[in-house]
Amino acid sequence: MATNSPERARVRLDGISSRAYEHPADRGALVALRSLRGFDEVFKRLSGLFNERALRLMFLSSAVRVNEQQFPEVYNYVRDAAYILDLDEVPELYIQMNPRPNAMAIGSHKPFLVMTTGLFDLLDAEEQRFVVGHEVGHVLSGHAVYRTMLLALIRLASRVAWIPLGYIGIRAIVTALEEWYRKSELSCDRAGVLASQNPEAAKRALMKLAGGSRLAEMNPDSFLEQAREYDRGGDARDSLIKLLSLTGQTHPFAVIRMAELTRWIDEGEYRRIIAGDYPRRDTDKDASVGQEARNAANSYRESWERTADPLVGTLRDVAGSAASAGGRLFDTVAERWKGAGSGGSAGRNGTDGNGGGPAAS
């Protein structure tokens, strides 16, 4: 398997909305939250409790900020990703000495990126380009505001763990947010492919996250077979173990990410977007909360139909009915809200979509 590809012209995706690449479950949650006027601002203020300025100063003093003189190739990857995904501002990137492979986007007012040396040394140039694009995707999607909510609730849960009912309630919310968080990672794997425009490099990067640098010892077909075997599971006990293993996990497992990204590419979504068929940012305000909720429900239903997991097969009909009911509920609430606003300002404040400004995770 080749590890590099020649430099080539990449297609700029003018005015692309993050809705173009977001997983339906991620997109549905974001559209619903953005439809609430003032929500982004409230949680941007909440993110200030984590002292974004102090965090940036910490990386400024203890890591290497890439520019034309320091890690110039990676600096170009950030500029390219911001150009291709049509960001207004190029985020800063810091390389941090840390053997653990990781990358992240931090901040909501002036987001910046961090990549550890463990990840930098693990990847080749095109794979690094994919990872940078992934993180820039988090910036474009504005994920930080909502991830801040998750971090705040996790901290709160630890403080009220001695109150059984309070902890159970918060833990339920955290579990739902963790599920959204995992879907947001699938979204930004797609953003990484759109920014790098090298699907094979993206797949290699995900394989390395699972098996390390010895790519010659790995095979993409066998790696995908692992995903199919994991999906099939064994009996209901294996299914339960898989569900429990997700507790506290903010990232999907590498084989699952590989399978999801491959399916998205094979279904033609990547080529369609590269060809120019994608929603624009100036249409974000028209996004329908009810429609995105139904899209999310349909996405889960389709994944349930694909899976061979015995437990999911048993619960499929019950969950499908619940998803349909949820879509109808969104429609009902939306219609009533519009009706209530026909004579005043309530409707304008409730059903407007708010695309929100760029933020980071």
Q: Active-site positions?
A: 135
In angstroms, the CA 71 to CA 117 distance is: 12
How many CA atoms are closer than 13 Å to the CA of 100, on its beta-carbon side? 4
The span from the CA of 15 to the CA of 54, in Å, is 32
**How far apart are alpha carbons 344 and 338 in whole angstroms?**
10
Question: Three-state DSSP class for 348?
Answer: helix
- Give the integer Cα–Cα distance in Å for 269 and 255: 20
Main-chain phi, psi angles of 324, to 5 degrees: -65, -40
Place of tokens 């794979």: 127
Q: Which residue shows structure tokens 């309070």?
A: 166
- What is the C-alpha to C-alpha distance for residues 148 and 143, in angstroms, rounded to an integer? 9
Element containing residue 104 per DSSP (H, E): strand 103-106
Amino acid residing at 83: Y
